[in-house]
Amino acid sequence: MGDAAPHGSAAPGSLTAPIVAMAAPPHGGGYWLAGLDGRVLAYGTATAVGGRAAPAHPQPVVAITSTPDGRGYWLTTADGGVSTAGDAPFLGSMGGRRLYAPVVGLAATADGRGYWEVSSDGGVFAFGDARFYGSMGGRRIDGSIMGVAATADGKGYWLGADDGSVFTFGDAPYYGANAAAVPTPAIAAIATSRNGRGYWLLAPATIPTSFGATGAALGAAVVRGAASQLHGNPSAGYFCNPYGPCEEWCALFATWTWDHAGVPVPRYAFTGAVYEWAKTHTSVVGPAGHPAPGDAVLYGTGPSNTRTSLHVGIVAQVWPDGAIVTIDGDGGPGPPGSANVVINGPFLPSDSMAYNGFAVYGYAVP
């Protein structure tokens, strides 16, 4: 958009994992794309300097940041690990140290001799010549922090949350936020303008999204039905929704998508009932198994009761590295009664506890 020129993109079918982060060298003219598995693709004048070699069970990459001269970059992973390429120096990381929440963002100082990592609970960790100016760690925030952006002089930073809130530290000025707009599409990233006099909040749910008809015909039909409901707000009232009575409705939505595709499933309100129905009538897949588009992914520890079976979504995409993207009903953001149908992910099911706040205990097949 604007004066940004296209310099290329990944060829269809060439990726083994979804692209989750992007960075441009300061001089412009190109960019890097970083995959969840650590693979980095370079375009235009962005130097192809290599990246993290993906191990057999990688921690997911969450951010990429350029060095000041554009001849290298840093990658950070959800466990706080930092890897370098080109002239980017390694200055320390939270890798191997105890974290109360996963790392979600990385920003470098103006001279490239330091950087900050930020975790989803608002904790900020400074390395090299990066100074600690404060954080939201240990303080109550309504959303989850999704990223960090540094000021032009490196003497402050902004933290952006998924509910549209923005928190400022050091010399970072506050220019506004959209947290008051409820319901609002979830924010996925924050980026600052080059002169540091403004910032952007990325709201992916405002961008038209379609999912290709991949896999079996039934699964593709389920995904198309789920995608047709994206971004819609439920009816007014406490947890009211178009898929059933006024109550928590992730399972109502999941069974609606199956029924809409021709699966003779009752409209269940309890997530564990979806698992039990599939166990009796179709099949279920364990948490270490391989789901397919259209399957229902179930979160928690088991289907026994509402304390163990916590949430359900519809698998929309499955990547070669095992990452999935889901479409969830009653997925937020906003207070009870104003949640939406949202896109969740991509994430590795094995990292669901860190990414979603609860583990995957299985998949129900329609």
Other CB atoms within a 10 A radius of the CB of residue 146 amount to 22
Q: Is 28 exposed, middle or buried (0-12, 13-18, 19+ CB in 10 A)?
A: middle
Tell whether omega for the bond before 183 is within 30 degrees of 0, i.e. cis.
yes
pLDDT for 182 equals 43
pTM: 0.83
Amino acid at 155: K
**Are the C-beta atoms of 76 and 117 separated by less than 8 Å?**
yes
> What is the rounded CA–CA span in Å between residue 110 and residue 114?
8
CB within 8 Å of 80: residues ≥ 6 apart: 93, 94, 95, 96, 97, 99, 103, 117, 119, 125
**266-302-304-310 Cα dihedral, nearest 10 degrees:** -70
Q: Is 236 exposed, middle or buried (0-12, 13-18, 19+ CB in 10 A)?
A: exposed
User: End-to-end alpha-carbon separation of the chain, Å?
Assistant: 40
> What is the rounded CA–CA span in Å between residue 186 and residue 205?
7
pLDDT for 355 equals 87
Whose structure tokens read 């304390």? 307
Tens of pLDDT, residue by residue, the chain (366 residues): 777 788 888 887 788 889 999 998 888 788 999 999 888 999 998 887 765 544 444 689 999 999 999 999 999 999 999 999 999 999 999 998 999 999 999 999 999 999 999 999 999 999 999 999 999 998 988 778 999 999 999 999 999 998 888 999 999 999 987 755 544 557 888 988 877 788 888 877 677 777 766 668 999 999 999 999 887 666 667 788 889 888 889 999 999 999 999 999 999 999 999 999 999 999 999 999 999 999 999 999 999 999 999 999 999 999 998 999 999 998 865 544 557 888 888 999 999 998 888 999 999 999
> What is the rounded CA–CA span in Å between residue 329 and residue 343?
9
What domains can you pick out in the chain, each with its CATH number? 19-206 (2.130.10.10), 217-365 (3.90.1720.10)
> What is the rounded CA–CA span in Å between residue 341 and residue 194?
34
Amino acid at 135: S
Task: Give CA 28 to chain center in angstroms.
Answer: 26
**Are the C-beta atoms of 146 and 105 separated by less than 8 Å?**
yes
Among 225, 361, 204, CA closest to 293: 225
pLDDT for 59 equals 85
